[in-house]
Structure 1
Amino acid sequence: MERDVLIDSNALEDEFYALKTIYEDDFHYENSGKLWEGYLCVYPDLYHLSTLTNDGDEFFVGQILETYSDVIRYELKSILDLDGLNLAKDNVYTETASEKYQKGTKEWISLLDTIPNSGYEFCIAYDQYMKNQEFQKEEYKCSICMETKLGLYCYKFDHCNHVFCKACLCNYYKVLIKDGMVEAVCCPHSECRNKEEQAPYVPFKDMADLAGSAAADQYRNLLEKHQVDHDPSRTWCPITSCQNPATRDKDIYKLAICQTCSFAFCSFCSMTWHGEHIPCRINDREAMIKKYMDAKENDSQNTIKELELRHGKRVLEKLEREFVENKQNQEWVKAFATSCPSCDLAIVKSDGCNHMKCYSCGTHFCYVCGEYLSQNDPYSHFNSQYSPCYRLLFSGIESVDEENEVT
């Protein structure tokens, strides 16, 4: 509902003229003569306005501010264009802030205080409303279907002013959202898509109007997940019943606190917060050590730093040494030992024939080929001409001894 407040322009002009006569160059008044177009500019110089509290001028200052308040709150609220209001607020803030530090002993008067937030918001809403009214009356050519339609059935992107019909955008965005390509939900014009920087995403309220509430809700969830996944300062709460975004601590990178349930946890291992200097539990030790060794081999400093921050440099170096030793032992066992076919225990023969009996499970097997041997007649395996180990009962005794001496 619009509020009609009339101000006698002639009376205002007479009052300002009187102030101009009193203060001469210390007071300025400008009127474009186009009040209805939003070009009224009434101002005292900011420097002199800040010093008008001397010599008993408080009364005149009060009159000035009262007049300013009337003009800004009522008359200009329905006529001042949005850009002009933004510029006026920025200028007042910048100039008064600068003067404040230079003359801190003066009593300060800020014109910003005379502009209520509700009035400023009203100007923004009214300006947007009028722009939408004009947009809906004009005709535009959709860059997708190449048809000309009224603005009522079109959508314009504020940052680039590209216009598309709502039907085309609806189908286009629904496909992108269904496929999870939320990073592509922006202006589809080639000029915006070919830019290096990411074009602004479509606002949620606009998506609901374009593609429906269901698609808008899915779009909101996908976009939030995309933004959290690509933000190094944020992660996800590991609590199954929560799983909302959590923020990493600025001073302790491993520490993260959920914004919803306040659960504090380690952002590396997702376990309850265990302290900054306590290493994370290693679930897959071999995979982690291989990753660490590959990073050192390829000089991937970021990966090395992350792993050392997560598990500790000394812990990683110790595990790396153990991993290398175990790998060497496994290679030696593979070359010089035979595993029991029952319990898979690796056995190295130091002397004697190739008939072996596992000291762990008691299985009889051939040391050459690893096959089971009969408990009643184990040597038939070496005496049968059809056996692959025929006459190999004592084979390899010297070679094994020599290789053991070398190693």
Structure 2
Amino acid sequence: MGDVRVEELETLEDICEGTGEVEWHKDKDGVTLRGMLCVSPEIEELQVHFQQRALPMLRTTRRPKPLASDSDATDAAYVITIEHLPPVQVSFSLSPSYPEDELPTYTICCPYLTPEQLSSVCRRLDDIWEEIGRGEVLMEWVNFIKYECLSHVGIEDRLPIHARKPAIHNTAAAIDPRVKDVALPPLNLTNHVLEHDAREDERCFEQGQHTCAICFSEHDGKDCLRFVVCRHVFCRECLGTHFSTQITDGQFRNLTCPDPDCRNIALPTEVQQLVPTKLFTKYDAKLLETTLAEMEDVVLCPRPACQQPVIVEDDTTLGRCATCSYTFCTMCRRSYHGVNKCKVADFSALLNEYKKGDEEHKAFLIKKYGEKRIRQALEEEATASYLQEETVPCPGCSAHTSKIDGCNKMVCSKCRTYFCYLCRSKLPASDPYAHFNRGPCQSRLFEGVFQPEDEEAWAWQMDQFFFVVA
């Protein structure tokens, strides 16, 4: 007759194949069987409540939300909804007297359950063995942990995470000695729960089938990419072509999700998975360059062969490149000239003085500062005047935009914001033309494009256009 313990464990292995929920082996004595159950309680959704001080250091792609002011969770400030919990671990040993005469010897561990809750679970595991007539109990334990454990300890829809001290087993709280208490700090515990949820979420995604929103074909999860922020899904082939075309066309800051109603910008790590290495290197370098150009406390070394970022110190125009040791003026990007004025710093005052002076004084200024500096100041003023009179600022990023021809529906080449050239209002990307069907800009989509001699014919054409659009 075979060993009933081995038969139970082998059956349990077959049922839980591929899940990693059960592992076992024979002890060195050749008689005792030892193993571990790693079973995750099943949930549809669970709200993890955590303290505000943990917010900046969370390792998760899910977006935390502040708790409602009337929440009774006094020790938490934010919440993240998860779909997968880390496993409850039960380390067991089965003696030759199991199952009829002896309960499995075991310890239990789960960082997000308190010692009191785990003690209650221990009592329930003991009761289950008694209820089934002291029979083979491991499968019953797996089912209990998976489907009933959380409700048994009073966790229904939320998991509060807060600081606590390790349990002392000889206290009045009657902590079961089989409980292995792991009192993780709140931040570590929160990240433990969230990282497990992220791993399981990605595993489920890769094992599933998904429809690409570009080619509308079904693909395996491993052949798709789901954006971290907006969660939209596309096949890697379509996304790779989409991003490669944008980078080749010179778009480095606006590699957005292809969904027409989404403005989420792709992460560099996402772009790296989709485009050829050479193209990503070009994209990464240009992205770094444009990002540094917008940082007030960082400039690039002006040497063409260096171009490394240099941190600008407060209250000084002296820049020191740590790579090539070049010292330069951070205002004009030339060799450092101490307290002497550079050609950028005094443009405004020089221009005012030049314009107010007579011919003799103008000649003196040209001799003193150089004709090139005077001409540059005049060109700067002309440029500023043109931008003021002939361009409009984008309502999304304030970039100057001019319209040479075409309709009054504009698209900013920098941030891809849709806006009306007439009233400067931002338009929805899903239907930017609807703006010209009502309000002050009604029927003014082509205003200023051309003026036909037959006004009635023009009005008729406009009516037909908006009838079709509407």
TM-score tier (shorter): 0.3 to 0.5
Relative contact order higher in (CA < 8 Å, ≥ 6 apart): 2
Q: TM-score, normalised by structure 2?
A: 0.39
Q: TM-score, normalised by structure 1?
A: 0.44
Higher strand share: 2
**Higher radius of gyration, 1 or 2:** 1
